[in-house]
């Protein structure tokens, strides 16, 4: 709880840098893709284009912010050598991991709420499956918080922290069905897209809100949970060995 409280205070204190930009960015997305371009595209799977992309834009904000929160915060502690104080203390490694990851989950879900409220200025959202929607948001924020933690452990400089978001996370997000249905793609690219985990997260969340999906919801949930468990034990192992955390 101490680590979580520190994390929440950290990102709320600089809310102009952490909470406001997602709202502004998503507003631009809604204006450009939702209203200007969307009005020319027409319907997508029986929904107006702006309604179709809204769940994807919300998930995109959750993914990027939960990842960025943990990767930047933990690397800062590593860079300043303050993490060594935690490592030599009696604090169990899993408590350290859960503290930082919980901070990422809180920020990711908070940004998700902000973006959802912003989207209401442009469209009327309805939730078909409330529990599934909340579960997907939580699991996605958890998964990418763990991924951000691992990124921070491996990073040696601040530039290393941005490599994965720039060259891996952003392409996977834009190719993850946020702005389109994979049913529009040729068969071979539909098959390739199925290997993109973000596609399953976006579609599971879209199913929770709109009731439509390009993927199996059971498979999406199972995949997210499995990936989260794998990343948790990888992060815990890296933290316990501490090879990259001590000078």
Going residue by residue through the chain, which has 247 residues, state the pLDDT in tens, using 9 for 90 and above: 999 999 999 999 999 999 999 999 988 988 887 777 777 777 788 888 888 989 999 999 999 999 999 999 999 888 888 888 888 888 899 999 999 999 999 999 999 999 999 988 888 888 899 999 999 999 999 999 999 999 999 888 888 888 888 888 888 988 888 888 888 888 898 898 999 999 999 999 999 999 999 999 999 999 999 999 999 999 999 988 876 676 4
Torsion angle (degrees, nearest 10) of CA 125, 130, 134, 139: -120
Closest C-alpha to 3, from 238, 241, 244, 239: 239
Give the number of other Cβ atoms within 10 Å of residue 224's Cβ.
21
How far apart are the C-alpha atoms of 109 and 66, rounded to whole Å? 8
The counts of H helices and E strands in the chain are 13, 2
CB 216 within 8 A of CB 58: no
| Predicted TM-score of the model (pTM) | 0.91
């Amino acid at each position: 709880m101490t680590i979580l409280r520190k994390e929440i205070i950290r990102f709320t204190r600089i809310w102009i840098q952490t909470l406001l930009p997602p709202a502004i960015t998503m507003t631009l997305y809604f204006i450009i893709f939702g209203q200007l371009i969307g009005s020319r595209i027409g319907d997508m799977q029986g929904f107006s284009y702006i309604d179709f992309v809204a769940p994807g834009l919300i998930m995109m904000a959750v993914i990027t912010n939960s990842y960025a929160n943990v990767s930047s915060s933990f690397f800062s502690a590593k860079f300043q050598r303050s993490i060594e104080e935690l490592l030599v203390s009696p604090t169990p490694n899993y408590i350290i991991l859960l503290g930082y990851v919980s901070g990422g989950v809180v920020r990711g879900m908070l940004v998700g709420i902000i973006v959802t409220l912003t989207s209401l200025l442009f469209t009327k959202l309805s939730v078909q499956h409330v529990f599934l929607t909340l579960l997907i948001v939580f699991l996605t924020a958890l998964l990418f918080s763990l991924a951000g933690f691992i990124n921070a452990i491996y990073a040696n400089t601040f530039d290393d922290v941005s490599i994965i978001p720039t060259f891996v996370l952003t392409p996977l997000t834009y190719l993850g069905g946020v702005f389109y249905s994979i049913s529009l793609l040729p068969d071979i690219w539909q098959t390739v897209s199925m290997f993109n985990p973000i596609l399953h997260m976006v579609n599971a969340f879209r199913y929770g809100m709109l009731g439509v999906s390009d993927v199996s919801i059971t498979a999406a949930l199972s995949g997210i949970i499995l990936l989260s468990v794998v990343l948790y034990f990888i992060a815990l192992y890296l933290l316990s060995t501490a090879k990259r955390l001590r000078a």
